[in-house]
A and B are shown apart, each in its own frame.
Chain A
Amino acid sequence: MPQTGNIISGLVKDPGGRPVPLARVYFTKSPVPLPDIAALTNDNGEFSLSVPVAGTYKIACAAEGFESTVTEVTVKSGKMAKIQIRMKK
């Protein structure tokens, strides 16, 4: 059974600090196999992804007009991990 409460919450911003809506956010590395689905950021550039186990993950973000980024994040059991992704042109 997956552990509950393991959530990665994030915010995607452009170089000027403005939110990036409809950016695609997906895992590229995880301690266990994950569904091959990608999240889209909302109008505020926000997203939240759940993971089944604590551990270290890599999250990629892609959006038109920006270089793709990869961010490493460590999730502790039952905790929410927050990240901010700053896209580059």
Chain B
Amino acid sequence: MAVKKKSPTSTGWHTPVSNDPEETVISKTVSKPPMEGVNPKKGKVNDDGTEAVKEYKRIKAPEKWVAKFLALPKGVHLRDIGEASFGIPSPKAKGVIATPETVIGADDRIQITNTSAYPWRVHCSLMITGADNSMWIGTGWFIGPRTLMTAGHCVYIKNSGVPGRDGWVKKIVVMHGRSGNTLPYGSVTSTSFRSVTGWTEKGDPNYDYGAIILPTDLGNTVGWIGFGVYKDSELLAATGNLSGYPGDKPSGTQWYHARLINSVNSLKVFYDIDTMGGQSGSAVYQIINGYRYAVAIHAYGIGGDATVNSGTRITNAVFNNMQAWLV
């Protein structure tokens, strides 16, 4: 008699939780590699591990170890420590009025307008309604036909201090491939969410990740990004790509940026990729042989001693939960 292989279950602070009264996720084998969907009109990639976006020019930053020894030019007022890591500002950056903190150095994000094409269409603009009817914006991305990954704080609000706000959000309107007022695939509302006890009970930023389950299998049309667990050495050699929906840009527009991964620890990935409020939940992904694989879920901007942005690393425990949440 054939024995069905059981998916590993994450434990400890990665114990998965759901707001559904009964677990309705059907365990199903889904490939870890990406899927490009129907008529992908697939975008090309560059040899440096970035997306080939027209007019996007990645600012050439010195290698991390060289940057430490570069002297700052006299008379240049540095707004944050992040600029020092890149040495002398480029001509484009000179004279730029101080940029928001989570945009590190010059703002070289670029808008994506062909959001009906793969891979851009797998990224979703989220309009989130909290338990107290407060409203928020975030970003999610497809990993399967009905499953989006996002930040834990996009699906479960924790430690807000505002009466009635904490807990599972009421609903999320998902707009995949949104570009401003254009919704090439319409929108869908979800009321089914997933996260882990490390976030929902402990509110620990190291466990800040979750999922949105859609009532329809839109992922089969738009495709999804692959995801994987990678060694420290592999991540530190990788270029991180991120595309999401920042609040400082025109409403609902998708913006892309890419930089080398800055550093990692066992639970998080750190990067100089420019982000702004609204991009919580974005995929941080690398491109391997032309295929896209997420390595982290973007969650936090810089602040205090932190001079780089950060996301929840896809570890074995996170990976197991992501697979378990696939429907």
Chain A residues at the B interface, C-beta cutoff of 8 Å: 2, 4-7, 22, 24-40, 42, 47-48, 50, 52, 58, 60, 62, 64, 68, 70
Contacts and interface: CB of A to CB of B under 8 A. Distances in A.
B161 A35 contact: no
B137 A37 contact: yes
Contacts, number: 122
B60 to A, nearest CB: 26
Contacts of B205: 33
Nearest to B135: A40
Given A24-B278, A39-B134, A50 B102 contact: no
Contacts of B299: 35-36
Interchain residue pairs A-B with the least CB separation, the first 9: A26-B277, A38-B247, A38-B277, A28-B100, A24-B247, A30-B303, A40-B135, A38-B278, A36-B280
Interface of B is mostly: loop
B298 interface: yes
B95 interface: no
Contact of A33 (B137, B153, B162, B300): B300
14 contacts: A5-B161, A22-B135, A24-B251, A26-B248, A26-B277, A33-B301, A36-B279, A36-B298, A36-B299, A36-B309, A37-B280, A38-B278, A39-B134, A62-B247
Given A50-B162, A64-B250, A39 B300 contact: no
Interface string B232-268: 0000000000000011111100000000000000000
A77 to B, nearest CB: 12
A33 B162 CA distance: 20
A16 to B, nearest CB: 21
Interface string B68-107: 0000000000000000000000000000000011100000
A27 B248 contact: no
B304 A26 contact: no
A37 B151 contact: yes
B154 interface: yes
B162 A7 contact: yes
Contact of A27 (B136, B277, B298, B310): B277
A57 to B, nearest CB: 9
A48 B248 CA distance: 18
A28 B136 contact: no
B303 A34 contact: yes
B301 A27 contact: yes
Contacts of B248: 24, 26, 60, 62, 68
A20 to B, nearest CB: 12
